[in-house]
Amino acid sequence: ERERLLKFGLPLGKAIEEVITIVAPATFYRWRREASRGKKRKPRSLGKSQVLRDLVIQVAPPTGFGYTKILGELRRLGISRICRQTVKNILKEEGIEPGPKRSRGTWGEFLKAHAETLWACDFFTKRAVTAQGIVDLYVLVFMHLETREII
């Protein structure tokens, strides 16, 4: 994000002081000086082996998995000393986008997609007057959602 701020802020010159709100103007100017001197920030060490990094990079693109799913696959392989944020950082450093954002869809879409295998059920009681007097009836009803058949 620092690079993006510099990219869009440098053409503004001193006017940047009036519009910048995310960092102090002094910070922006320090970043500008460092960029003009060619000073690079030290990359953070993730403390993870190159083998682990290569494994994360190898799993991500062909599967289209997101951070959490990649983490789950690594844990299935017996690699437990890694967290979701580390997976995210590795992919970000390599310029690999995680899996696509998935919408959950609507309840109606779910019902349409699975109607042939879904059943609804209800259990209720009803008080009734009979020849023996007032009794409680217990009713359990099943309905197939696709055909609306009641059993």
Residue at 149 is within a domain: no
CA distance 86 to 122: 47
Residue at 86 is within a domain: yes
| Token couple for 59 | 């799993």
Residue at 100 is within a domain: no
Which amino acid is located at 21 in the chain? T
CA distance 56 to 149: 49
Secondary structure element (H or E) that encloses residue 91, with its range: helix 84-94
- pTM across the whole model: 0.38
Structural domain boundaries, residue 13: 2-37
Which tens digits make up the pLDDT trace of 76-124? 888 878 888 888 888 888 888 777 666 678 888 888 889 999 999 999 9
pLDDT at 44 over 90: no
Residue at 20 is within a domain: yes
Which amino acid is located at 72 in the chain? G
Residue at 65 is within a domain: yes
- Per-residue pLDDT, 121: 97
66 lies in the same domain as 89: yes
Which tens digits make up the pLDDT trace of 2-15? 788 888 888 888 88
Contacts of 24-31 with C-beta under 8 Å, sequence gap 24+, read: 31/2, 31/5, 31/6
